[in-house]
Amino acid sequence: MNMKRIIIDVIKSLSRNKRQSILTAISFAISVFVVLFILSSSSFTTNSIAQGVDLDNQTTTLNFHSNNLFNKKGFTKADSELIEKKFAIKSKLHTSSYDIYVESSLNKMTKPLSIRTVQQLAENDLSLPTIVYGKGWSQIKNSVQEIAISDQALRSLVHENNIAKYLKKEIILQNQKYKIATIYQSSSISEQYPAIIVSEQIVNQVFHKQIYYDELILTTSQEKKINQVLKVLDQQGENRLLGSYQWIDKKAIYEETKSQADTILNFIALLASISIFVSGFGVMNAMLSSISERSQEISMRRALGAKKRVIMITYLMEGSLLSLFGGVVGTIIAGVFIIMMNFMGMQAMVSGMQVMITLLATLFFGMLFSVLPAMVAAHKNIAEGLR
């Protein structure tokens, strides 16, 4: 059995049926591209989750939760100095993007709504939400009389769907009147965005220049030390009687969320991989059609002494090469898309093992669905084929 001769015959056969071969390979290429693209999005999703929980292995953020929403208390400079002196840990007072409330009144309805400035959102690495109605953020940032409110918060105050009519209406914040100049889109998922966004000047007016720090950032990630710090704050914290000191294990949240995201993405990739299986039927159909057209050629080869085994191997190789070629093309296209995603700032990556498994699956199904056509070709009736 001359393997070199078989390979040449396979290449010639594929060349004679260019259109059919290309279309069959394309179906595999698309399937492989989809699978690898979904798998590559896993790293992008992981990075997005890490950014969403503000994951930092070198620091830990403590939170202060007031017993009274309107009690503007939190961590103090004395708390920070106490921790640094007692544990030799550097600490930094910080204001989050959502955990301070103001008494808000509109249409005789009063509710506590979270409030933050445009600058504070930037400090927390949050992009400004999408504006639905009204003025732009540059005007809100410098205004002393106009505020922005989320569509969800406004609906909770007025209990109406037509909220656009409340633009330029007065809203009372802590007994002071302001105009609604902007209505922005709230997030149903993220709780990081406040209900009201204003300028620094308005915050100073509402809270009489009092600064509220609801977070204390520690330069340690050791759980033992963190618990010791919390115990000291519970005993000696300046505002310990007005609220509670807490710590959220962001790493645990990240790991749990990442695990759930990976499970979902792997399941989607598994569903997408079914398309590789389906592409195998395309190979089988193309090869059966090719065998029907080349019936006389196959019979002539058999009459000249070609063994059934050689005919079978030829067609198995033909199906395998088609699927593998399609898989390689799909891998290259997926690689180009991944590079483009990284170039645009979306970190995406696929491992060599994932690529290898996908290509092996492609080769396996290509070979599997070539078995029946190969058997049909090998057992073709010579007399009938030569008629």
* Residue 257 sits in the same domain as residue 378: yes
Q: Are residues 272 and 157 in the same domain?
A: no
Report the domain count for the chain.
2
Q: In this predicted structure, which of 27-31, 89-93, 139-143, 251-255 has the lowest mean pLDDT?
A: 251-255
Residues 257 and 368 in one domain: yes
Range with lowest mean pLDDT among 3-7, 207-211, 293-297, 352-356:
3-7
| Average pLDDT estimate for 343-363 | 83
Q: Which of 192, 210, 228 is the last residue of a domain?
A: 210
| Residue span of the structural domain in which 174 resides | 100-210
Q: Who wins on pLDDT, 151 or 39?
A: 151
Q: How many CA atoms lie within 13 A of 140 on its CB side?
A: 25
Whether residue 235 is contained in a domain is answered as no
pLDDT digit string, tens, across residues 33-65: 888 888 777 766 666 655 555 555 678 888 888
364: its two tokens: 């396996």
Task: Note the pTM of the prediction, 2 decimals.
Answer: 0.57
Residue 305, in any domain of the structure = yes
Q: What average pLDDT does this structure show over 236-257?
A: 80
Look at residues 41, 54, 39 and name the one whose alpha carbon lies nearest to residue 342: 41
For residues 343-374, one letter each, b for 16 or more C-beta atoms within 10 angstroms of the residue's C-beta and e for the rest, the string is eeeeebbbeeebbeebbebbbebbbbbbeebb
Residues 270 and 347 in one domain: yes
Residue at which a domain ends, from 184, 210, 236:
210
Q: Does residue 85 form part of some domain?
A: no
Among candidate residues 181, 210, 239, the one where a domain is terminated? 210
In a domain, 272, yes or no: yes
Predicted confidence at residue 169, as pLDDT, reads: 93
Q: Looking at the structure, do residues 14 and 132 belong to the same domain, yes or no? A: no
At 305, the pLDDT band (50, 70, 90 cuts) reads low
Q: Are residues 379 and 313 in the same domain?
A: yes
- 272 and 181 within one domain: no
Q: Are residues 192 and 281 in the same domain?
A: no
In this predicted structure, what is the pLDDT of residue 10?
60
Q: Are 181 and 304 in the same domain?
A: no
- Whether residue 383 is predicted with pLDDT greater than 60 in this model: the reply is no
